[in-house]
Amino acid sequence: MAHLGTHVALAGTALVVALALGIPLAGLTADRAWPRAVLLALAGGFRVVPSLAILMLALPLLGLGFGPALLALVVLALPPILVNTDVGLRSVPRATLEAARGTGMTERQIGLRVRWPLALPVVAVGVRTATVEVIASATLAAFIGGGGLGDYIVGGLQTSDFSELLLGAVSVALLALAADSALALTQRKLAI
Amino acid sequence: MAEGGARVELRGVGVRYANGTADAVHAVDLTIDAGTFAVLLGPSGCGKSTLLRTINRLVEPTAGTVLIDGADARARPATELRREIGYVIQAVGLFPHYTVAENVAVVPRLLGWDEARIRERVDELLGLIRLDPERYRDRRPRELSGGEAQRVGVARALAARPRVLLMDEPFAAVDAIVRASLQDEIARVHRELRTTIVFVTHDVDEALRLADRIVVMNAGRVVQNGPPDDILERPADDFVRELVGVDAETRRLALERPLIER
Ligand SMILES: Nc1ncnc2c1ncn2[C@@H]1O[C@H](COP(=O)(O)OP(=O)(O)OP(=O)(O)O)[C@@H](O)[C@H]1O
Ligand SMILES: [Mg+2]
């Protein structure tokens, strides 16, 4: 149970941090050519690096434990959040924004009442992807001493205890599935 | 805001876009009297939309002044000005996450009307554009036909009783039958409300049908400004003659074709 708690804390914190960073950042760059190009290039770069590699890179740089594992997971969660926020904001039709401007909304009102609400379903898809990835990858955190359900797998591997290994694998899968379905429901609510 | 229309005056209005080498609109002097249905007519790219958008400051003129009832449009924040000027575009641009009623209520909400007054106004407007409030109020834009969507677009633009209504090719995207009925509606709405309407089209028939005054534009300039009869009978130059003349010929041929087939 402690392992589950650590796992959820690790994945949850990583997601919250990635959302808090990623959504405003993508919001700021969406309409600025250069910053946007840089952001998307970075997101693309991080996306193709396997999560295990990120975790292993974090090891020599930051050492062992919860902190480095958290950082690696944030880096992992950021790309889908950044990309989907960007796509969501930019896919709002020009005509809709033009009409909004024509009604006399301020830029802030256009953002809050029109652009972000219309971008939200696309952002939600990114959040869902990030969530599943982070829950699955948080397993690997056990390899750098981050704890969580991965400890069952690491332990199971070390002692060749198949049932412990299975316990770890199945519980991670169940957790990811549960989170995914919960988000799928939310997403359906958001759909326009 | 009172019923009726405001006078719109453009004095030496010019627009050059940041990336442009020539003026998109050049030295336009134009007065549209209160309550007039004015149609800006001209070929694609001649600057109709640009000129229209200087009136609600979606485009800021790089030269000259726009006056609404004698007051400089720049005297107030653009957002405040726009809440008193209706704006309808070809793509409609209804807010897809809002119901029909919420779309129509956008400007009254921005102006802080109370909910009871808004609800009453929404039903009144849906009635005006002939959409049964009971049936349409709670629909989403995706549940509307193109013609119905544009009716709602017009209702949204009229919601706060604007004294000027700007319409940029509002009926260009619907089929001919729907277009004709929308034209009838807007003509009727104009008769009832006496709002000043500035309406952009490149369709000569539409211009002739709706306009009190036709403002013919070419290459960023106004080349003729007068009542439809004048434009037809006394075109100012070859450009205008060709614009209305070619179209008259097409109409004549279109009328003849069924006879030949018979
Ligand atoms: N935002 C813009 N930035 C730069 N140039 C623009 C912009 N909008 C329009 N233009 C240019 O200004 C000129 C006039 O365009 P405008 O849209 O006003 O023409 P229009 O008469 O409305 O044409 P259409 O009938 O095709 O809608 C064109 O040459 C166009 O390319
Ligand atoms: Mg145009």
Out of B79, B81, B93, the one facing A105 most closely (by C-beta) is B79
CATH number reported for the structural domain that contains residue A87 in this entry = 1.10.3720.10
Residue B180, in any domain of the structure? yes
Q: What percent of chain A has pLDDT over 70?
A: 99
- Return all residues near A170 (Cβ < 8 A) that are at least 6 apart: none
List pLDDT tens digits, range B150-206: 999 999 999 999 999 999 999 999 999 999 999 999 999 999 999 999 999 999 999
Residue B11 pLDDT class (50, 70, 90 cuts): very high
List pLDDT tens digits, range A10-44: 899 999 999 999 999 999 999 999 999 999 999 99
Do A103 and B110 lie within an 8 Å CB cutoff?
A: yes
CA angle, B205 then B207 then B208, to 5°: 65
Residue B110, in any domain of the structure? no
Q: Could you give the 3-state DSSP secondary structure of residue B64?
A: strand
Residue B253 pLDDT class (50, 70, 90 cuts): low
Is residue B85 over pLDDT 50?
A: yes
Residue B99, in any domain of the structure? no
Domain extent, residue A139, equals: 2-191
Residue B194, in any domain of the structure? yes
Out of A94, A95, A102, the one facing B56 most closely (by C-beta) is A102
Residue B19, in any domain of the structure? yes
Contact B194, B33 (CB under 8 A): no
Do A103 and B56 lie within an 8 Å CB cutoff?
A: no
Give the number of domains in chain B.
Answer: 1
Quick one: pLDDT at residue A1? 64
Residue B124, in any domain of the structure? no
Who wins on pLDDT, B231 or A68?
B231
- Return all residues near B158 (Cβ < 8 A) that are at least 6 apart: B86, B125, B128, B165, B189, B193, B195
pTM: 0.89
Contacts of B107-110 with C-beta under 8 Å, sequence gap 24+, read B107/A103, B107/A104, B107/B83, B107/B156, B107/B159, B107/B160, B108/B159, B108/B160, B110/A103, B110/A104, B110/A105, B110/A109, B110/B83
Give the number of domains in chain A.
Answer: 1
Q: Taking a contact as any Cβ pair under 8 Å apart, which residues of chain B between 139 and 198 contact chain A?
A: 140, 142, 153, 156
Domain extent, residue B61, equals: 8-84+162-255
CATH number reported for the structural domain that contains residue B77 in this entry = 3.40.50.300
Would you state the structure tokens that stand for residue A154, as one six-digit string?
Answer: 């690491």
Residue B261 pLDDT class (50, 70, 90 cuts): very low
C-alpha span between A127 and A15 (Å, rounded): 8
Do B93 and A118 lie within an 8 Å CB cutoff?
A: no
Q: Find the B64 Cα to ligand 2 centroid distance in Å.
A: 21
Who wins on pLDDT, A69 or A24?
A24
Is residue B215 over pLDDT 80?
A: yes
Quick one: pLDDT at residue B256? 55
Residue B192, in any domain of the structure? yes
Judge whether A98 is closer than 8 Å to chain B, CB to CB: yes
List pLDDT tens digits, range B92-136: 999 999 999 999 999 999 999 999 999 999 999 999 999 999 999
